[in-house]
Amino acid sequence: MTAAATVSGIGRPRLGKALPGAVWALLLLTPAFVSLASVSFYPIINGLYLSFTNTSLITQENEFSGFSNYVQLWGDAQFWNAWWHTMWFTTASTILETVIGLGMALILCEAFKGRGLVRAAMLVPWAMPTVVTSKMFGWLFDGQNGIINYILLHAGLIDQNVNWYGSPDTAMTTIIIADVWKTTPFMALLLLTGLQTVPNSLIEAARMDGAKGWITFWYIRLPLLMPTLLIAGLFRALDAFRVFDLVYVLTGGGPADSTETLSTLSYKVLFSTLQFGYGSAVSTAMFVTEGIIALAFCLYLIRQIRRAQ
């Protein structure tokens, strides 16, 4: 790689016996490169190759089969079903998390008693293993004895127990709620650090001129926060797009495939049917979709930043 291409200043002649800096740089970067190359880059390329073969661990075949996997994928209703679910999940959870996160950040921006405690509590959902979150929501939203049903029933918001993740109508919503619960507080903490870089003098000046709270928010804080908001949104969207643990543990993609996402579908094709060729085509299609999302976001971000200047 280019890592060791040029190094200057460090390899002084006085230390003639020691290795020159360029060699050191290469040496120190090698372990990281080897690790990432073998565990991230190699599998991506190998997966791309596998997607053009009929590799199966059952029939023990692994011959080149051209685009046949992709042709099959194009006509595969299950794939498109999972694709739409994933897009819906990504869009809904990213928007909710960004908007609610912004609301939380605006509150945390103010000084109040017990702010440290609230901020600390917000790390709890983030630190918890996703599998635990998934099981926890399984219990909270349980169709029979779940506390959520109990509360809603007693508040008069529903007249009978809702079978949250056991019914195709509400299962995806339950998963979105669980994801929003887990990731919003952290999103808020990220946005808070962004908000705190907005100079107070600007807001004070606007207040002096008689601007109301929401005007200072809309015309000063929000535009200045935009880059942070978009980048945080991008990271969140890419992460939401890969959702696996939450779905796999809570519903396993069911009921009636109503929560099947691209990750759970790939996993099933790979490890239940052991069709590594076709499974790789699914995951490659997913990688491509994710790349397009990232690209679209980046282009939008660049335009926003240009316009702000």
Question: Residues 193 to 222: which contact other proteins by CB under 8 A?
Answer: 193-194, 207, 213
Non-local CB neighbours of 55 within 8 Å, separated by 6+ positions:
61, 62, 275, 276, 277, 280
Q: Does 254 bind other proteins (CB under 8 A)?
A: no
Contacts to other proteins from residues 104-143, by CB under 8 A: 104, 107-108, 110-112, 114-115, 117-132, 134-140, 142
Nearer to other proteins, 18 or 71 (CB): 18
Min dist. Cβ of residue 211 to other proteins (A): 12
How many residues interact with other proteins (rule CB under 8 A)?
A: 109
Interface map 4-43 toward other proteins (x if CB under 8 A): xxxxxxx-x-xx--xx-xx-xx--xx-xx--xx-xxxxxx
Non-local CB neighbours of 63 within 8 Å, separated by 6+ positions:
53, 54
The CA distance from 136 to 93, in Å, is 19
Contacts to other proteins from residues 43-82, by CB under 8 A: 43-44, 46-47, 50
Q: Does 296 bind other proteins (CB under 8 A)?
A: no
Interface map 264-293 toward other proteins (x if CB under 8 A): --xx--xx----x--xx--xx-xx--x---
Burial 264-281 (b: 16+ CB within 10 A, else e): bbbbbbbeeeebbbbbbb
Min dist. Cβ of residue 72 to other proteins (A): 17
Min dist. Cβ of residue 194 to other proteins (A): 7
The CA distance from 47 to 257, in Å, is 25
Nearer to other proteins, 29 or 215 (CB): 29
Q: Does 249 bind other proteins (CB under 8 A)?
A: yes
Nearer to other proteins, 142 or 179 (CB): 142
Contacts to other proteins from residues 141-160, by CB under 8 A: 142, 144-145, 147, 150
